[in-house]
Structure formats: structure tokens, C-alpha cells
Structure 1
Amino acid sequence: MAPKTYLSLDTDLKSEKRDTTLLRYFANKAKEANYLEGQAYALNQIGTKYRNISQFKKAADLHTEALQLSEKANSTELKVLSLNMLGVVYRRTDAIKTALDYNQKALELAEQVENPSHHIRRSINVSLNCIGNLYQTLEQYDLAIMQFRRALKLEEELGNKLGLAINHQNIGDCLEEKGDLEGALENYRKSLAYNEEINSDIGRVICKNSLAQVYLKQDMPYAALVLLEPLHEQSKSIGDFYITSSVFINTGWAHTVLGEYDKAEQFIEEGLEMAQNHNMPSNVLFGLQKRSALESKRGNFKEAYEYYKKADEFDREISSATNLRYMNDIIVRYEADKKNNQISVLAKENEIVRLRLRKNQTTLLVSALIVGLVASILYILYRQYQNKNEKRVLSLEQNMLRSQMNPHFLFNSLNSIKLYIINNEQKNAVHYLNKFSKLVRKILEASSVKEISLEDELETVELYMNIENIRFSNEIDFKITLDDDINPDVIKVPSLTLQPFLENALWHGLSPKKGEKKIHIHVKRKNKNHVSIEIEDNGVGRGAAEVNKEKRVLKRKSVGIRITKERLANFAKDYQNNFDVDIVDLFDDNGNPKGTKVVLDIPTV
């Protein structure tokens, strides 16, 4: 007997459903045998393949034929599937009114089924997801998120990782539109993790493109390009021009921000052409807007205005008042029906609860008191933990500021400037006094923020070394080098991180050394997620420094490095990767100490 349900059909054709040739063969054989369910299943699968390569007209025709066959066969499962697939196709071409009709019909039909099968439950989630996408198009993001979260809960119950990936992606899209970029990033990363688990190429491309778009909004074009450039060929190989055009337009946006205008024009135009050729209005609008921004950056304000006008006209076309009014009427009617149903259900549930309360009033009261007591205890413990953690972070910041502004350094610096004044070296006195005041100001400013750019941090330590070098009669050779692929303006580091390591090198490495004295800071790219900062000195080495420290009458405690490591560990909680600190002893060919190297790995993602 031929299988009639979606599950049995999908199970029997599991190995063949990815091959459109075999599916067509099966559809033809089913037609010859008047096997309506088999024919409808195959046509829906083939339609989905055409949709994923942006051949929307063919996809819509196949799903429509599948719907007619499902109605003849009186198969609710296949009718719901066909309606949902039609809704997805029309949504991808921005035919919102038609898409909403199909998805709402699918949801209403599925919700009428008593004891729904696994596939019907999945179809309800698909309908919710699609309706959420349509709310999103209407810029009603809170309504959209409500639908996606409802679907997310149901997908968790079904253990469907693909559904979890899709709904986290959609929630991220809505949060991004609302301006909650951190919330969007969190959901995009969750979606990417699920797509990695199920090994979905298209899911990975969509997530990475979305992450890159958020990085662009956060003014991080280099981070965006790291994600986007591998997607060019990957998205083309998938064949979904909706995604590919977005990837290319975002790449053009990144090059616009970096001032690489010719590259930007090439990528935006290629993405725009794909969107126009495959009838994707929202991507056409996006491409025109980015082309206008590019011409404005170039200073071609006339051309920028022309593209702006085109985008504005196009926006009005795809958001006509009739279409939006119809959609809003449908949404209001749908929400009203849902609320009426919910009120009816709630009334019945309230009656049941009221009857139960009469019988179990004492038990409920005791339970409520216990729950309240436990909740209060948990809240108090949580607040204590939070306060303790906040005090610890504040203490670290205060200790760091004290280590940066320690009295020895201030006294020595002012004494050195005083000597210039006594020796009537007014230019040197004014020069170093300016540097000293600028350094103090930068330390105080940096101590009030959690993170600063690497550019500002390097400027601060350069001022610090200029002041300290007075005590060494300017005999320390200090330099900072950055590799060509490093942009210190976009790299963020915890404030006041490097100075304790330089101070340690000066006091314990170079102070007891005779002859040439060097400190070199080298910033280089370790990998796409890390930047490495190396602080190398040619001092006496840690072994000799430890011996010298024990001989001193006044022993100086090196608390700055310990505090810095604790701050880095605390700061790393906001990143995917950890901050690593390694201290390496350097030796010459004969095994004699020749200095120390401190290596800090700073995550950029």
C-alpha cells in the first residue's frame, strides 16, 4: 500500500529527495498511478529546490499544483505544507499580502487538527516563523519577535536544530533593526552554532553575512571583511541569489567605509544586478541606498542624490499604501481572533483553577509561602554575589590607578623636571612638563572607562617611557612597531594594560644593567581572532632581577602585573576568546640571560 502521510513519504524518499531528476521521475510515475499524495510531496520538494536558487516563478507554479493535488487527496498535512511553501516563495519576492494569506491559512488549518502529528507541529512552527517574518517586513518587530519566540519554544520541544537556528537568526534580524546590536550578535552566534551542528552550508552563509552586517554598523569593516570574503564563492555555489546579492552589497559597504571606492562600486553593482535580475525588491532597495552612500563618500553629490531618489521611489513602490493597509487589516483581524480564542480558553482554565483552589487552598498557600521564601533567599544570595563581584572589579580598577600613579613615579618625574629648571634648561623643563601633564590626564581619563583603543594605549605608554627615560639620561632605546595589517584605532584593549609591564622591565630588568638598554613593543596579527603585543627588553633577566631585589634595602612590590592579569581575566568574560599573558626568558647562544619578553594575546572578536 502506498504511503499517505508526509512522515512515511519523507522516510521512504529520504535518499532521493535531494535529487531533482529522481523526484521528477517519481512525480511522473505517481501521476500515471493517480497517486495524489506522492505527486504532491514530490512537487513541493522540487519547488523548494527552485526557490533556493531564486527561480521563484517555477517554484510558485509547482507549489500551487501540489496544493491542488493535496486538496483532491484531502491530505491536511500536504495542504498545510503547500500553503506554507507558497507563503515563503511570495515573501522572498516581497509580495507580502499574498504571502501572509497563504501562511495564515496554513496556520489556521494546522491548529484545527486534533492530536497533531510531528509534521503538523513542525508546520505550525513554519507558519509562525513566516508570519513573524511578515511582521518584520512591516517593521512591527515586537510582534515578530513574539511569533519567533513562540516557534522557538515549540522547536525546542521537538528537538529540531534547524528550526532553532532559523528562529534565532530571525530574532537577531529584528533586534538588529531595533538597534540592539549586542542582542542581535548573541542570537546570530547561537544560530551559527546550530547550523554548524547540522552542517548547513546555507545557514552558515546567512549567519556570517548577518554578523558582518552588525560589525559594519559597529564601524568594524575589517572584522566584517574577514567574514564576507570567503562567502563570495560559497554563496554562489549554493545558488541562492537572495543571499549572494546581500553578501556582495555588504562587501561593497565595507570597502566604502575603508575608502576603497572602486572595489566598493564593483561589489555593490554586482549585488544590485543579481537583485534586479532575480526580482528581489528589498535587496534592490538596499543596493541603491549603499550606492548613494558610496557616491556621497566620493564627493559625487549629484550622483548620490540620483541614487537616493531611485531608492526612495523604489521604496514607495514596494510599500504602497493599499498593500500596507490590507496587511494591517489582516494582522488586526488575526490578532483579534487569536485574542478571542485565548480569552475563551482562559475563561475555562480560570473556572477549573477556581474549583481546584477551593479544595487545595491551604496547600497552595503553604506552597506560595515556600516558593516566596526560596525566591527571596536566592535573590539575596544573587545580590550578595553581584555586590561582591562589583566591589572586586572596583577594587581592581582602584589598585590599577594607584599602581599607575604611584608616589615614587610622580616624585621622580617632578624631581627630574625640577633639575631642568635649576639648570636653567627651560625648553626641556617645559617639554617634559607638558608630557607629564598629558600623561597624568590620559591615565585619569583611561581609568574612568572599561576599554580604549590600542592607539590611545600606545600613546599613553609612549608618554610614560618619555618621562621615565629622563631618569636614565635618555639612554633607553624605546620604540613601537606595528605590522601593516594592524589598525590600532579599531582594536579595543582594557585601559592601562601595558604600563605595568614596562615599569617592571625598567625597575627590574634595565635599572641594574650596564651598557645598551632597549625596550621594544611589537604589535602583530596572530590570527583572525587575535592580536599579539610583544614587549621585549634586553635587561638582566628575571633570575638576576630576583637576586637584585632580595639585596635591596627598599624592596619594591610588583603588584601592577598581578592586578593587570586579574583585570584581563575579568574583562575576558565579555569575549568569546581569553586574554593570555606569557612571560618568556631570553637567552643568548651560550645560555646567558639576555632579557625578557612579555607576550599579550588580545582577542578581537
Structure 2
Amino acid sequence: MNKSLQGRMPGLGSNLKRNLHFFLSGLVMHPYSPSSLLWLFSPMGAQIPTGFCRVLSARRIGLTGWLLLHSFLSPLVSLAQPASAGHAIVADLSQKLEHAFDTGEHSDSIQAWLGQLQAVNASSPKGLGQAHAHRFRGILLLNDFQKDSALARFRAALPLYQQVGTAYQLHRLLLHMADAHFEIGNYSTCDSLLQQVTTYAQEENQTFLLGRIAYIKGSLASRQGNCVASVEAMEEALARFVECGNLRWQSMAQAEAGACLVDLGRFDEGIARYLASAKYYETRGEMRNVGIRYINIGTVFYDMGRYTEAIEYGYKAHLALDSSFSYGQAYVYNLLGISYNEQEVRDSAVYYFEKILALDSVDALQNDYLLAIVLSNLGEALGRMGQSSRALPYVNQGLALASELADLLTLSRLHVVKGDILLLLGEEELSLSETLAGVALAEQERFTSVLNPGYRNLATIYAAQGNYEEAYRYHMQHKLIDDSLAGVDKLRAVARLETEYETEKKENEIDRLSQEAIIQSLELSRKNTLLYSVSMGLVLVVAVFGVLYQQRQLRSKKKAIELEQRLLRAQMSPHFIFNTMVSLRNALHEKSKEETSLYLTKFSKLMRQILEHSRQEFISLQDEVETLENYCALQQFRYGDSFRYTLEVAEEIEPEEVLIPPMFAQPFIENALEHGIDHAKREGELTVRFSKEGDRTLKLHVQDNGRGIEVTKEIKAQEGTSHKSLALLITQERLANFGLAGTLALEQLYDADRRVKGTLVAMSLPYQIDL
């Protein structure tokens, strides 16, 4: 027994009857196992003579001897049975809870069962039931990432299991303690506990325990940066879980293997594992775990340079995760932060990283591993913003944490990030030293995601030093990895896997029926040819109906999206009309009759445009610009020319031929005029730009020189209007329906002295060509 697990134990005589009961019970259940005899003495801390064990071992007395001893002692079990009325209830509840935690089934009953277990324990607080209660509540806490509280529960259960538990129960507890120490970062203690459990599990051939041990070892190797060893361990764990039929842990092993495959640059294999895991959780309605898998998939897209898709999956994960799950939300914010950082939306990146540092998940959960990653990302974002001096302390703090945790992946990345920052500060030699250290570690562990920027930075440094031979060499290595990451085959493989996953969710029932029909036809074919033909006919019928059903589903989905878009536009129109009527009311009070008449004329024209557009899914860009021109003129009239506005369309766009969805720009123009621009200064500026972004999307920018996002929030709070914008919610929903979720970004603008100089809203819009 490990020294850390030894404690004060009562003498042998005081609990002989209880130990005799467990000895006899173990003998009845496992009559040929020497561990039955060890448990007569070992829970009391007594020293077991080696010779005694040899004499009583099955190898010495033989099978017949064990059978005779078993038949002689079995009748004494009832005499040694503890006199507890709740013994059967405790056994039943512990079995149910064990099954629920291992398989994920009946998870909604766990709290009720724990309550019943606690009630049974009230009369005997130091019994086996109390040990179970501590262990199972510890598992709940660990699942909620409350690691220290979980470990405290496990430690409370330890002496109770040592006194009255079975060998299996004790070693299950030791496995949970290893899990907790791993999450906390006590890797040596975790490894020591795993060795104890491994010996027992191998002797008793406990397949599930061996799978759990391999899973933790794989996680440990991953945390320490040994991705190859981690994948091997997870494959072993997966094989064990398949052998014992545990689907839940198969899913978890798939996901962990996926993470390491991604770190090794095998993106298509990694995303296949994530999708397999997500499919399992989705069928069970476990949205928290679905959200975690969405984070994983978003991270893969980030590593492949597909940042828009990464942001989309980040928002999907945010919606799937409940807001109280701050640990998961921290990883969502990290994904959004790094993706916005790569899109050069620096303020948004820093905003999300700082949101993580403000969460309880960093300090309360003592997650130094997560903190090291966040510090790395925050330092990189600040460095790219040109705030190198502010970035360096974050990076140094992250380096210290990653080194302490032996987190080689984060450590290598931080060296490269620090080298980049030092280069910006003009420290070429220090930059070279840090970058080489990071690249050497990444080459050793094959961290492709670190080597790519590392080689790029080395090429830049050597070029700055005039060493063009080395600069060219590292540039070619960077280009080789870059081409590999963006390879057409990988992109197609990931797209295919993602499409298969989405299609499988919709056609799951059809596939199941088709498979059943095929199986039946194969079975019948062995009997006679006639039944085989009939079965094949049924399969064809099912397939035809399946195709028809799929087409009907697609038509229904398209119709539903069109109806939803129409509904959202209908929601937007009354909202817009309401705000315009408010402006009209103000004009009636403040303007002359002639001015009011002019205002009403423009207003009626604008209403006709809005009502016409609300019935159309797409309108010409020319019509949209004319509507915005009319709206801005009305608002300029209302505010007494306190602001100037500009509506711009890029030269490569033909406004009469390009069709876009209506009413996307207006809510943000309204927000800028209502809350952003300070009309008292009469220096307001508003710019709306449409530019081409891709083959199927335009970029819309709405920019003002107002107070900025934070000041606007404070003013709204003081005025009691800090509610969430209806127009903003509707816009996000409309973008999601067009497959452009995550493209909406709000950025606070600064001048050279870091003073707020306005707000920029950017989003992607779909467009069509009017033929």
C-alpha cells in the first residue's frame, strides 16, 4: 500500500466478526481466489505471513481442497452477517449507482438514489453505505470539475472501505482518486495509484477497470505532450470498453484519441473520432457533452485555418452548454478568442480571453492547465495588437505554469509566442533563442500546430539577420506544413465526415430499418430462394421509401427555413416601424408644420419600401441602399443634421444585379444613431460599406465615431435600458439560418493613444446574381 494511503487502523480483535463475514462472502463469490483470504486480515493492517499465503493458495492445496474449504465455511456466512436492516438496500442502491456512473444510464435518478442511501446511513454513519455515499458524491463533484472537493470525498471514503469494503470496492475508489489527482495535476501520485489498481485488475481480469486505467494513462501521456503514447493507450482503452460493451466509455476514448490525432496533424482521423463521440451523446440528449465535442470540432477547424467554421462551432457549443458550466464556457471563449485573433479582430480576441480570466473556472477549480493556455493566447493576441510590453508578463507567467505542469505542447507554443513578441521588441537574438527552444521541443514531440508558426518565425528572424540560407530553409519547411494543413484531400475528408454526420442524424431511423431488412433477408436466404427474393423485394421497397422520405424531409426543411426567414422579417418590420414612429412623435413636437409634412412624406415612402421588402427573401442591393438612404435622411432630419452619413458600394459590385436579404444593416445604423453618436457635439459620422468577400458572400460594415461599446452599455444601464437588443437577436437568428452563424462581430475602435474612437460592426451576407 502506498504510504499516502496508510492510516490508523483498529486492531484485529475488535472487528474480527465483520472481517470474517467479508472473508466468507469473498470465498463464496470467488472460491478459488487467494484474495478472499487476504481480506480476512489485510483491512486490519495486520502483516500476513508469506508462508501462510503459500499454504492456503490454490496452487498448494489444489482445487479439491478449495472446494472442501468452501463447502465447510459457506454455512458460517449467515452467522457472520452484520446485523444491519438496511444492508440489502445499501447493496441494491450501490449497484444501481455504480451502473449509472459507468454507463450513463438512469443518470436522472442518481440524486434520488444518493438521497435514499443517505437516509439508510443515518442510523449507522460509519458503515459501508457511508463509504459508498462519499465515493459517489465525489464522482459527481469530479464530473463537475470540482476536483479538490471530490478528492476530499474520496479520502473520507478510504478508511471506511479499508475497514468494511471488498477488494473491488477499494480499488474502484483508488481509481477515482487517481482520476482526481490527474485533474489537479499531481501526476506522480496519479501514476502510483494506477500501478496499485493495475496489479489488482490484472490478477482479477477486470476488463472495465483495465480499460479505465488505459484511459487515464492515455490522458496523462496527452497532458505531458506524448501524443503517440496517448493514442496507443486510448486504442487499448477502446478495445477494453468494446470487449465489455460500455458505449459511454467507448465514446470518451474516441474523443481523447481524436484530440491527440489532431495534435499529430491527422485532422481527418481526429474529426472522425469527435463526430463518433458527438453522435453517441446526441442520441442520449446529453447536450453538455455534445457542446464539448463541438468545441473539439471547432478546434480542428481552427488548426486547419478555417476560422469562420471554428467560430460557428464555438457558438454552437455556447448554445449547447448551460451557462452555469463555466469550465466548458471557458473553452468556448478560448476557441472564439483564438479564431478572432487569426481573423485579426484583436479586440474581440482579447475580450474573450479576459472573460476566461474573470470566470470562476480558473481560480475556483484551480485549473492551471487551462490558465497556461489562456495566458499563452492572451499574450499572443496582445503581441499582434502591438502591445508587446503588456503581452510579455502574461507569456512569462504561462511559461512558468506549463513548465511546472510538464505540459510540453503549451510549453513549446509559449516559447514560439515569446520569440515572436521579442522580435517585435527588436530583441532578435533573444527571439531566436526562444523560438529555437520551442521548435526543438515541437520537433521532438511532433507538434505540427507549433512547428508551422515556429518555422515561419525562424524564417523571418534569419532574414532580418541576413542569414538567407537558413531563412529559405525554414520558409520551405513552413510552406510544406502549411500546404499539408490546407491540403485538398484533408479538406474534402473533413467536409465529407461533417456532411455524413449531419445526414446521419436526419436519416438515423431509415438506416436502422434498412439494416434490419438486410439482416432479415440474409437470414431467410439460408432457408430457401423464394423467401430470399421476397426479402430483397422488401429491402428495395424500404430503400425507395427511404429516398422518398429523404426528399420530403429536405423539401420540408427548405420550406421551414423560408417560413422562418419570412417570420423574422415580419418581426423586424414592426420593431423598425415602432422606432420610426417614436422619431415621428418627436418631430411633431419639435419641428414646424412644413418640416413635419416633409418628414411624413419620406416616412410613408419608407413604410412602402419596408412592407414590400418584408415579403421578399432577397432584394437588389440597389433597393437596399435606397431604403437605407431614405432612413438615414429621416434620422438626419430628426437630429437636426448633427451627423454625416456615407453609403458605399465597392466598385466590383453591380448593385442592380446583386440580390441580398433585406434589413440587415438598419438595426445597427439605428443603434449607432440612438446610443453611439453623441449628437450634442454635432460631429457624428456614420459609414455603411458593402464589399465583396467571397464567391457567395458580401461583407457589410457599419462604422460610427461614437462613444464605443463599453460607454454605451454604461449609459443604457444608467437609463434603465440595458435589455438585450431584439434586433440583435433576430439578426443572429437570420444569419444562422443562412449558414453564417458566427460571422457577426462587434469591435470597439481606438486611436493611437488608446482612446475610444467609435464602433465597427461587421458581418457576412449571402448574395445571389439576378439573371
2:672 and 2:706 in contact (8 A); partners too: no
- Matched with 2:256 is 85
- Matched with 2:717 is none
What are the equivalent positions in structure 2 for 1:461-500 lying under 5 Å apart? Answer: 492-493=752-753
1:84 and 1:123 in contact (8 A); partners too: no
| 2:457 maps to amino acid | K
Whole-angstrom distance in 2 between the partners of 1:163 and 1:306 = 41
Between 1:163-172 and 1:307-316, the stretch displaced more is 307-316
Q: 1:146 to 1:31 in 2, by over 3 A?
A: farther
Whole-angstrom distance in 2 between the partners of 1:334 and 1:81 = 18
Q: Gaps (5+ residues) in structure 2?
A: 1-93, 105-135, 141-153, 155-172, 182-189, 510-548, 583-666, 685-704, 709-749, 761-771
- Matched with 1:167 is 332
Whole-angstrom distance in 2 between the partners of 1:374 and 1:450 = 24
In the alignment, is residue 258 of structure 1 matched against residue 387 of structure 2?
no
Q: 1:104 to 1:380 in 2, by over 3 A?
A: farther
- Matched with 2:523 is none
| 2:295 maps to amino acid | N
1:88 and 1:99 in contact (8 A); partners too: yes
TM-score with structure 2 setting the length: 0.45
- Matched with 1:392 is 678
Instruction: Tell me the CA shift for residue 332 of structure 1.
Output: 3.7
Whole-angstrom distance in 2 between the partners of 1:289 and 1:214 = 17
Instruction: Tell me the CA shift for residue 397 of structure 1.
Output: 6.9
Instruction: Tell me the CA shift for residue 224 of structure 1.
Output: 1.7
Whole-angstrom distance in 2 between the partners of 1:271 and 1:170 = 22
- Matched with 1:443 is none
In the alignment, is residue 210 of structure 1 matched against residue 377 of structure 2?
yes
2:375 and 2:397 in contact (8 A); partners too: no
How many residues align? The count is 396
1:81 and 1:123 in contact (8 A); partners too: no
Between 1:172-181 and 1:316-325, the stretch displaced more is 316-325
Instruction: Tell me the CA shift for residue 208 of structure 1.
Output: 1.7
In the alignment, is residue 315 of structure 1 matched against residue 487 of structure 2?
no
Give the secondary-structure state (helix, strand or coil) at the position aligned to 1:229.
helix
Instruction: Tell me the CA shift for residue 336 of structure 1.
Output: 4.2
Whole-angstrom distance in 1 between the partners of 2:500 and 2:754 = 53
Q: 1:75 to 1:269 in 2, by over 3 A?
A: same
Tell me the alpha carbon deviations over residues 41-86 of structure 1, each in whole angstroms, 9 at most, x when there is no partner: 3332232121100122222222112111211222221111111111
Give the secondary-structure state (helix, strand or coil) at the position aligned to 1:493.
coil
In the alignment, is residue 185 of structure 1 matched against residue 445 of structure 2?
no
| 1:135 maps to amino acid | F
2:392 and 2:421 in contact (8 A); partners too: yes
- Matched with 2:412 is 245
TM-score with structure 1 setting the length: 0.57
Give the secondary-structure state (helix, strand or coil) at the position aligned to 2:225.
coil
Q: 1:124 to 1:24 in 2, by over 3 A?
A: farther
Instruction: Tell me the CA shift for residue 252 of structure 1.
Output: 0.8
Whole-angstrom distance in 2 between the partners of 1:285 and 1:222 = 25
- Matched with 1:532 is none
Tell me the alpha carbon deviations over residues 290-346 of structure 1, each in whole angstroms, 9 at most, x when there is no partner: 011112222333432222122223434555554444333323433444566799799
Whole-angstrom distance in 1 between the partners of 2:570 and 2:439 = 62
- Which among 128, 131, 137 is matched to residue 297 of structure 2? 131
- Matched with 2:200 is 29
Q: Gaps (5+ residues) in structure 1?
A: 358-364, 399-447, 452-489, 496-569, 575-605
In the alignment, is residue 48 of structure 1 matched against residue 188 of structure 2?
no
Give the secondary-structure state (helix, strand or coil) at the position aligned to 2:753.
strand
Whole-angstrom distance in 2 between the partners of 1:29 and 1:107 = 33
2:224 and 2:408 in contact (8 A); partners too: yes
- Matched with 2:310 is 144
1:129 and 1:148 in contact (8 A); partners too: yes
Whole-angstrom distance in 2 between the partners of 1:494 and 1:129 = 33
Percent of residue pairs identical: 15
- Matched with 1:304 is 471
- Matched with 2:452 is 285
Tell me the alpha carbon deviations over residues 352-395 of structure 1, each in whole angstroms, 9 at most, x when there is no partner: x99xx9xxxxxxx9xx9999767854787798885465553661
What are the equivalent positions in structure 2 for 1:3-18 lying under 5 Å apart? Answer: 3-4=98-99, 5-6=101-102, 10-11=139-140, 13=173, 14-17=176-179, 18=181
1:192 and 1:203 in contact (8 A); partners too: no
Give the secondary-structure state (helix, strand or coil) at the position aligned to 2:426.
coil
1:80 and 1:106 in contact (8 A); partners too: yes
| 2:329 maps to amino acid | L
What are the equivalent positions in structure 2 for 1:369-408 lying under 5 Å apart? Answer: 377=578, 387=673, 389-390=675-676, 392=678, 395=681
| 1:146 maps to amino acid | E
Instruction: Tell me the CA shift for residue 274 of structure 1.
Output: 0.9
1:281 and 1:318 in contact (8 A); partners too: no
What are the equivalent positions in structure 2 for 1:348-367 lying under 5 Å apart? Answer: none
2:268 and 2:490 in contact (8 A); partners too: yes
Tell me the alpha carbon deviations over residues 559-593 of structure 1, each in whole angstroms, 9 at most, x when there is no partner: xxxxxxxxxxx87999xxxxxxxxxxxxxxxxxxx
